[in-house]
Amino acid sequence: MANLLLIAVLIAIYCSLSQAEVKGSFDDNFSKSCPESHFKTSEDGQIWYLSLDHKAGCGFMTRQKYRFGWFSMKLKLVGGDSAGVVTAYYMCTEDGAGPTRDEVDFEFLGNRTGEPYLIQTNVYKNGTGGREMRHVLWFDPTEDFHSYSLLWNSHQLVFFVDEVPIRVYKNTNYTNNFFPNEKPMYLFSSIWNADDWATRGGLEKTDWKNAPFVSTYKDFSVDGCQWEDPFPSCVSTTTENWWDQYNSWHLSSDQKLDYAWVQRNLVIYDYCQDTERYPEKPEECWLSPWD
C-alpha cells in the first residue's frame, strides 16, 4: 500500500515536471546579447520582445547547434514607421561574420508607414554570400504572428512563410559547391539599424523619434538533429528522419502550386536573373526548383 502511494506521488510529480518542460523558458534554449532593457518577455515567458533604439539593438541565439531538419518560429514585425530597421532571423555556423561561415538568412526590411515590408533571403557558403532574393508578402507582417520556417536537408533548403514555400535552394552536389550542408548551425534573431541600405536602397533613414522598435517572437520549434560533439553526428539518414527522406527532397504537388503563385506574384529580385552582377549564372541557378 505504501508503495502504491509512493508511486502515485512520483507520477504526480513527474507529470507536473514534464508539463513545465513542454513550455520551456527562453533561457533553456537561447542566450541573448543585449542590454536587459532591450529584451522582455510576456508574463508567462512564452512571448519575447526585442527592441532597438539609437543606443542599442538586441539579438539572441540558440544554445544548441543543429544539422538538417525543420526550424520554425512565429514573428510579428515592427509596425508603423519601421524604415531602416531590419529584423534578421537566420541560421549560421558561428556567432559572428567569420570568413568561413555558412549561413541561411531571412531578413525583414522595414518601411515607412503603409509601404510594404520586403523579405530578403540569402545563403552563404564558406563566407561567400550574394545569393539574395527579395519578395513582397501577401499580408501585413506587423499585424499578426506568422511562421517563418526552413526545411534543410542535403538536397535542398526551402524557405517557408506560413505553409507557403517562397524559395527553393537546391544542392548541385558538385565538389566545393555552394550548398551549406557540412557544418551544423545555430539559429539566431536580431534587430538592428541598417538605414545605410535596407529601405529603398538606403534612401529612407530610420526615424529615431519612433524608437523603440520592437519585434515579437513565439513558438520556436525544431524537428531536426541536435548536434553533439564529437563530429560526425547528424549524418543524413534516409531511413530515420522525415526531413531526410525522399518526400522532403522536393516540393509536394500542392507546394508546387503555391510556389508557382509566389514566383508569378511576389518576387521582386532574384540574383539568378541579375546578369549585370553575374554575367555568368551561378551554378546552382541552373537547377530546377521543380525537381
Ligand X SMILES: *[C@@H]1O[C@H](CO)[C@@H](O)[C@H](O)[C@H]1NC(C)=O
DSSP 66-103: EEEEEEEEEEE---SS-TTEEEEEEEESSSS--TT--E
Q: Does the footprint of ligand X cover residue 111 (CB under 6 A)?
A: yes
Let me know the angle formed at the C-alpha of 223 by 217 and 227, rounded to the nearest 5 degrees. 100
3-state secondary structure of 31: strand
**Residue 258 corresponds to which cell in the numbers above?**
503555391
Q: Does the footprint of ligand X cover residue 172 (CB under 6 A)?
A: no
CB of 111 to ligand X, least distance (A): 4
CB of 176 to ligand X, least distance (A): 5
Residue 276 annotated to the active site: no
Instruction: Check 36, 43, 94, 103 and give the catalytic one.
Output: 103
Residue type, 159: F
Number of residues that bind ligand X (CB under 6 A): 23
Report 203-232 residues binding ligand X (CB under 6 A).
Answer: 222, 226
Angstrom distances, CA of residue 138 to CA of 141, 146, 149, 198, 257: 9, 11, 16, 20, 16
3-state secondary structure of 132: coil
Looking at 5-13, 37-45, 107-115, 279-287, which segment touches ligand X (CB under 6 A)? 107-115
Residue 269: its H or E element: strand 267-270
Residue 59 in contact with residue 81, Cβ under 8 Å? no
Q: Which of 16, 25, 37, 173 binds ligand X (CB under 6 A)?
A: 173
Q: Which of 33, 126, 147, 245 binds ligand X (CB under 6 A)?
A: 126
x-or-dash pattern for ligand X, window 229-268, by CB under 6 A? ----------------------------------------
Q: Does the footprint of ligand X cover residue 199 (CB under 6 A)?
A: yes
User: Quick one: which of 176, 172, 136 has its CA closest to 157?
Assistant: 172
**Strand bridging mode 103-109 / 39-41:** unpaired
CB of 178 to ligand X, least distance (A): 10
Q: Which of 16, 25, 31, 100 binds ligand X (CB under 6 A)?
A: 100
Report 4-63 residues binding ligand X (CB under 6 A).
Answer: 24, 28-29
Q: Return d(Cα 147, Cα 141) in angstroms, integer.
A: 10
Backbone Cα Rg of the chain: 21
Report 59-98 residues binding ligand X (CB under 6 A).
Answer: 64
Residue 103 annotated to the active site: yes
As beta bridge partners, residue 150 has: 71, 159
Q: Which of 80, 98, 116, 202 binds ligand X (CB under 6 A)?
A: 116
CB of 163 to ligand X, least distance (A): 21
Instruction: Check 107, 204, 240, 280 and give the catalytic one.
Output: 107
Catalytic residues: 103, 107
Which residues of the shown chain bind ligand X in the complex (CB under 6 A)?
Answer: 24, 28-29, 64, 99-100, 109, 111, 115-116, 118, 126-127, 154-155, 171, 173, 176, 198-200, 222, 226
